[in-house]
Amino acid sequence: MNSVLDIYCILTGLLKLSFFPVLLIVCHKKAEVRLLPAFAALAACFPVFIAAGVIRSGFERQHIDFFIKQAVLYSIFEEGAKYLMLRFLLRSYDRPADAVSYGIGHGYFEEFGAAFTCFGLVGTGRAGHDIFWFNLFSVPVGAVSCIAVTVLIFYGIHNGKSIITLPAAMLLHFFGNISAALLMESAAIAVHLVLTAGAAFAAYKCCKAMAYPSRNGM
């Protein structure tokens, strides 16, 4: 049984390592999604997550407000960093497809570290037996969520509505994190699916509203 569990851990790690790069390549080939925003997102995530981790280390962990503070912290830092990058450093990347690229890069940063956590579970017997099947569902859903929220931020920047879209993105991030931390797994999945569906629909409407002309390039 442990050998099967180890195989699931390895497959899960490989899934987390490969899903976002494959998604980026497919989007680049099929939809002319440019690559640089994804790499910019990866670079931006390093200082953002380090700073957030340092701040979180000072939170009291024995109380439920730890999870609330953590959810607030990461929703502000992550979505705020997306806003700053897309607003000030990637100004020439002005298509919704560029927001998709940035969202893929941001999502990959999180899954990259999680992949090695899965590899570290090999031989320990501490992984759940549904680890692979759960992640086969959660990784794509997480990608959709991250991309959709990034598109919302992008739309706000390019349409003068950031006062609405940025807080909305932060709230979506907050409720996704807090549900995962405080609710039972089935309830957390249901909440995450509802939030992701809502964000994806809003992002789709935003993309249709912007309808920038297509351009080739890096």
In the 8-state DSSP scheme, what is residue 217? -
pTM, rounded to two decimals:
0.93
DSSP conformation class of 214:
P
- H-state helical runs in the chain: 2-31, 36-56, 65-84, 96-120, 131-158, 162-182, 185-210
Note whether residue 92 is domain-resident. yes
Residue 125 lies in a domain: yes
Does residue 76 belong to any structural domain of this protein? yes
In our burial notation (b when 16+ CB lie closer than 10 A, e otherwise), range 182-210 reads: eeeeeebbebbeebbeebbebbeebbeeb
CB 73 within 8 A of CB 177: no
pLDDT level of residue 60 (50, 70, 90 thresholds): confident
- Domain with 124, as residue range(s), is 2-210
- Tell me, what's the pLDDT at 213? 46
Residue 190 lies in a domain: yes
- For residue 210, give every residue at least 6 positions away whose Cβ sits within 8 Å of its Cβ, in sequence order, or none: 95, 96, 155, 158, 159
String of DSSP letters for 78-112: HHHHHHHIIIII-TT--SHHHHHHHHHHHHHHHHH
* pLDDT cut 70: percent of the chain above it: 96
pLDDT reading at 36 higher than 50: yes
Asked whether residue 218 is assigned to any structural domain, the reply reads no
Domain count of the chain?
A: 1
Query: What φ, ψ does residue 84 adopt, rounded to 5°?
Result: -65, -40
